[in-house]
Amino acid sequence: MTRLLLPLEHDPRTAERHDEDALLHALRRLPRRVQQVFLLNRLDQLGFAAIAARLDLPLISIERHMNQALQAARAPGDALASIAGQWYVRLQSPQVTASERIDFRRWLDANPDHLRAFHDTELRWRSLLAPARQLGHDGWYRQGRAALSLGGCSIAIGLGVAALVALGLLA
């Protein structure tokens, strides 16, 4: 008689937890600023313009960071999912034009796979809520620029010291 290593029936919650852990891991690998922009949008439900104003960043940077966060959750090498993700983020931007909306509609209607990829992107976006809550559980992302790592500060201090040395040598 042989023993089974795994139970015959799997608890679906275990697979769901594994997926959430994988998404959380993917989000944690993102740069801190990308995480911050993503969490401000996903958890605090701030729009792109509000995030840009709060962090003093151009809208295009917010859009790029959001795209990076969404792309981190997709399967690597899936070009169609990548395009659908770019459309998903672009359509949320306050700078999206009527012409771009028409282009999106044409892209969506061009192939049933496009609609499926866009729908999967929306589902992926929803699946990021639980990992986002874990990532931002302590509210670090609300602290503005101070929430970023000290790496940027040390670079600024180093540049300041270098400038003082250069000015001291020139004066």
Q: pLDDT of 33-73, one tens digit each?
A: 999 999 999 999 999 999 999 999 999 999 999 999 999 98
Can you give the pTM of this predicted structure? 0.73
**Pick from 8-17, 71-80, 158-167: least confident:** 8-17
DSSP string of 116-165?
HHHHHHHHHHHHTHHHHHHHTTT-GGGSGGGGS-HHHHHHHHHHHHHHHH
User: Quick check: 107 and 87 in contact, CB under 8 A?
Assistant: yes
CA distance 157 to 29: 26
Question: Taking the C-alpha atoms of 110, 128, 140 and 44 in order, what is their torsion angle to the nearest 10 degrees?
Answer: 70
Predicted confidence (pLDDT) per residue in 71-90, tens digit: 998 878 889 999 999 999 99
